């Protein structure tokens, strides 16, 4: 069921930006969605013609002007927290717009004042809902304070510096997530009621997915295997691995009905699948897909679990899993692609890829390279819908999951480590061969990459001088300087980079391939366009400028498009559309294909 106010007047990149920023709050015969307007006003909209928590009104406006704001899923209400030294004022507003206000007083800080850093929803000793504030004093000392309407404040100090992700004093359990830079975080189980910080059990190296009724769902990475899902019993500190889950585990939620069932999202061959795990772990039931693509869990509340799905050809969908195990779906603002283009997951030798083909035999091809490198090419409306424009212009798209990618086993990920040139050459040749089979010669193939994928796009032109050229968006051009900067920010990045790249002074010239000097040795006939924001907080615009200057010194036709005031990923709709248009225009220039843009 569509909503009244759609984004039909927006371009596809703009509509996608707007829709993916919405909050899925509940489900009443369709999705109840929230979007921020004017910086601090949340507009809650329900589907047309329904009796719902928002009554007959098409929308409700909620002011979110606190020092911290939380959507309390268990109560389907927003809590705005205002902190003035030790005085706390909480305004809770439900989805109908009804508000109530209550107050609490924190104990004095040793070095006042308190500053609010975070707020989560929890359960107190009686099993009633509460808020837990993370506050820091003037010296940076952090404490957690449990507060509730008319309740005594309970304070807890942890031995660990990290983010509080779970709090339930019925089972005397709190979980602190300690950031480990590029590595999986460390999860610490503590007993606030006993005053025990960091003393309960050995920490767990895993990604926190969800917590409910003394259980935690965590995603663990073993040294020599893919991610595994485990249930962490927070009362007994025991871990139980969840068997029978197919694919690369992306996310999970526990149903809030006391059944112990678990919704699991995993990626198989470039597309996400859903399964429902039984309470005793004896059965994992696949749930019927709406289409291929990406699924992101947006909420887990008393009514069920809500998700947002999107794909290149299938558009977008809102999905709800209720407590009976039934899926409910509503179309999003992004329509199906108009035409007969196709997509398929194909393995070209050892190289897995997602291949998109236009209706007619392709006139050109783009080999697309994701960033990371430890990420994965998914069918997820990549590049804000750019693939649709390419398909409309008769251009095939081959998204390579090159060696170094995740989701295909640790052997595939590690095959590229300190071996990037030969490993990527094998993957690139696989992509070129696949394009040839569709009737596209090398001179009609362009490489497209973002971040680390941008560096690979430039490398691909060096390795294959017969290709048309490359478009590199926010590329990681100088791996040594990038690693040095990351290491200075967080020392844990040092071992991460040292494991994957040859960065030592003893490295041979052949091993120093991710540098402006090497990547700018493309062929004279290749068109190369770099697109980079001058406020990129991840990769350095100056490195791209140096590479382009070096290419110009060699007389090569390189272009640098500088996006003023833009970071690694555009932060607003205007910047998103600008990058989309810049990348699309650059690809058309490289391939000399006009394009129709009718998607």
Render 288-348 in DSSP notation, one character per residue: PPSSSSEEEEEEEETTEEEEEEEETTTEEEEEEE-TTS-EEEEE-SSPPPSS--EEEEEEE
Give the mean pLDDT of the chain: 91
The CA distance from 131 to 151, in Å, is 11
- Name residues whose C-beta falls within 8 Å of residue 527's C-beta, 6 or more positions apart in sequence: 468, 469, 557, 559, 589, 590
Residue 198 has pLDDT above 60, yes or no: no
The CA distance from 417 to 412, in Å, is 10
Per-residue pLDDT of 109-149, as tens digits, reads 999 999 999 999 999 999 999 999 999 999 999 999 999 99
Q: Would you state the structure tokens that stand for residue 103, as one six-digit string?
A: 């107050």
The CA distance from 262 to 279, in Å, is 7
Q: Are 276 and 260 in contact (CB under 8 A)?
A: no
pLDDT of the residue at 224: 55
Residue 339 has pLDDT above 70, yes or no: yes
Question: Per DSSP, what are the bridge partners of residue 71?
Answer: 78
State the average pLDDT over residues 42-65: 69
Q: Are 300 and 270 in contact (CB under 8 A)?
A: no
CB-side exposure of 588: number of CA atoms within 13 Å? 17
**b/e 95-112 (16+ beta carbons within 10 angstroms → b):** beeeeeeeebebeebeee
Q: How many CB atoms lie under 10 A from the CB of residue 350? A: 14
State the average pLDDT over residues 149-172: 94
State the average pLDDT over residues 395-419: 95
Residue 404 banded pLDDT, cuts 50, 70, 90: very high
pLDDT of the residue at 237: 92
Please give the domain boundaries of the chain with CATH numbers for all domains: 342-478+516-591 (3.40.50.1820)
Long-range contacts of 336-344 (CB under 8 A, 24+ apart): 337/312, 337/313, 337/388, 337/391, 337/599, 338/598, 338/599, 339/391, 339/392, 341/313, 341/388, 341/391, 342/313, 343/292, 343/312, 343/313, 343/379
Burial of 296 (C-beta count, 10 Å sphere; 0-12/13-18/19+): middle
pLDDT of the residue at 48: 59
CA dihedral 246, 251, 254, 260 (to 10 degrees): 20
Candidates 345, 475, 451, 443; CA nearest to 400 is 345
Q: Are 464 and 428 in contact (CB under 8 A)?
A: yes
pLDDT of the residue at 54: 43
CA dihedral 366, 371, 373, 375 (to 10 degrees): -100
pLDDT of the residue at 239: 93
Please give the helix or strand (H or E) that residue 573 lies within, else none: helix 573-591
- Tell me the range of 202-216, 271-285, 493-507 where mean pLDDT is highest: 202-216
Pairing of strands 558-563, 527-533: parallel
Q: How many CB atoms lie under 10 A from the CB of residue 305? A: 27
State the average pLDDT over residues 46-60: 56
DSSP string, 465-490: TTS-EEEEES----HHHHHHHHHHH-
**Which pTM was predicted?**
0.92
The CA distance from 260 to 290, in Å, is 25
Q: Are 447 and 457 in contact (CB under 8 A)?
A: yes
pLDDT of the residue at 480: 93
Per-residue pLDDT of 137-146, as tens digits, reads 999 999 999 9
Residue 562 banded pLDDT, cuts 50, 70, 90: very high
The CA distance from 388 to 176, in Å, is 43
State the average pLDDT over residues 421-434: 97
**Dihedral of alpha carbons 346, 351, 354, 360, sign:** negative
Per-residue pLDDT of 66-111, as tens digits, reads 999 999 999 999 999 999 999 999 999 999 999 999 999 999 999 9
Q: Would you state the structure tokens that stand for residue 556, as one six-digit string?
A: 């090569």
SS (H, E, C) 506-527: CCCHHHCCCCHHHHCCCCCCCE
- Name residues whose C-beta falls within 8 Å of residue 18's C-beta, 6 or more positions apart in sequence: 7, 10, 35, 333, 573
Per-residue pLDDT of 506-528, as tens digits, reads 777 767 899 999 999 999 999 99
Residue 199 banded pLDDT, cuts 50, 70, 90: low
The CA distance from 293 to 271, in Å, is 5
């Amino acid at each position: 069921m569509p909503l009244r106010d759609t984004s039909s007047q927006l371009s596809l990149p703009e509509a996608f930006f707007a829709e993916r920023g919405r909050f899925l709050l509940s489900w009443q015969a369709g999705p109840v969605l929230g979007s921020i307007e004017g910086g601090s006003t949340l507009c809650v909209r329900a589907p047309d013609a329904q009796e719902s928590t928002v009554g007959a009104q098409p929308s409700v406006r909620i002011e979110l002007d606190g020092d911290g704001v939380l959507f309390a899923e268990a109560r389907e209400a927003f809590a705005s927290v205002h902190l003035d030294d030790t005085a706390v004022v909480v305004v809770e507003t439900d989805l109908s717009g009804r508000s109530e206000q209550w107050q609490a007083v924190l104990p004095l800080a040793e070095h006042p004042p308190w500053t609010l850093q975070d707020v989560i929803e929890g359960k107190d000793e009686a099993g009633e809902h509460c808020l837990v504030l993370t506050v820091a004093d003037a010296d940076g000392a952090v404490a957690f304070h449990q507060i509730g309407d008319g309740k005594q404040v309970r304070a807890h100090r942890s031995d660990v510096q990290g983010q509080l992700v779970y709090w339930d004093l019925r089972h005397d359990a709190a979980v602190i997530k300690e950031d480990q830079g590029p590595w999986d975080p460390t999860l610490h189980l503590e007993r606030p009621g006993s005053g025990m910080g960091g003393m309960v059990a050995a920490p767990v190296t895993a990604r926190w997915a969800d917590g409910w009724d003394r259980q935690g769902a965590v995603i663990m990475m073993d040294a020599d295997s893919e991610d595994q899902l485990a249930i962490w019993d927070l009362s007994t500190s025991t871990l139980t691995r969840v068997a029978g889950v197919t694919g690369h585990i992306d996310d999970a939620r526990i149903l809030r009905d006391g059944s112990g069932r678990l919704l699991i999202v995993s990626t198989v061959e470039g597309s996400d699948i859903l399964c429902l795990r039984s309470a005793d772990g004896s059965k994992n039931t696949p749930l019927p897909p709406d289409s291929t693509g990406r699924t992101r869990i947006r909420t887990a509340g008393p009514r069920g679990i809500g998700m947002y799905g999107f794909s290149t050809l299938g558009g977008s969908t809102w999905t709800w899993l209720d407590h009976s195990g039934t899926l409910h779906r509503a179309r999003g603002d992004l329509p199906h692609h108009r035409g007969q283009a196709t997509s398929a997951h194909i393995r070209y030798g050892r190289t897995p890829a997602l291949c998109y083909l236009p209706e007619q035999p392709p006139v050109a091809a783009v080999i697309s390279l994701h960033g990371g490198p430890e990420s994965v090419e998914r069918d997820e409306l990549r590049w804000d819908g750019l693939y649709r424009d390419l398909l409309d212009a008769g251009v095939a798209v081959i998204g390579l999951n090159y060696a170094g990618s995740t989701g295909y086993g640790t052997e595939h990920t590690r095959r590229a480590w300190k071996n990037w040139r030969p490993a990527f050459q094998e993957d690139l040749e696989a992509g070129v061969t696949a394009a040839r089979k569709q009737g596209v010669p090398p001179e009609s193939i362009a490489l497209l990459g973002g971040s680390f994928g941008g560096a690979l796009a430039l490398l691909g032109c060096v390795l294959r001088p017969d290709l048309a050229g490359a478009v590199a968006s926010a590329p990681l051009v100088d791996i040594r300087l990038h690693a040095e900067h990351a290491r200075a920010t967080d020392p844990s990045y040092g071992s991460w980079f040292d494991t994957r790249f040859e960065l030592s002074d003893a490295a041979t010239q052949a091993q120093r391939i991710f540098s402006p000097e090497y990547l700018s040795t493309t062929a004279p006939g290749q068109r190369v366009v770099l697109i980079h924001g001058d406020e990129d907080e991840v990769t350095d615009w100056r490195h791209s400028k140096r590479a382009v200057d070096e290419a110009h010194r060699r007389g090569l036709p390189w272009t640098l498009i500088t996006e003023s005031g833009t970071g690694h990923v555009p932060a607003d709709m205007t910047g998103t559309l600008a990058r989309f248009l810049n990348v699309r225009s650059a690809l058309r220039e490289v391939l000399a294909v006009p394009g129709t843009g009718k998607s």
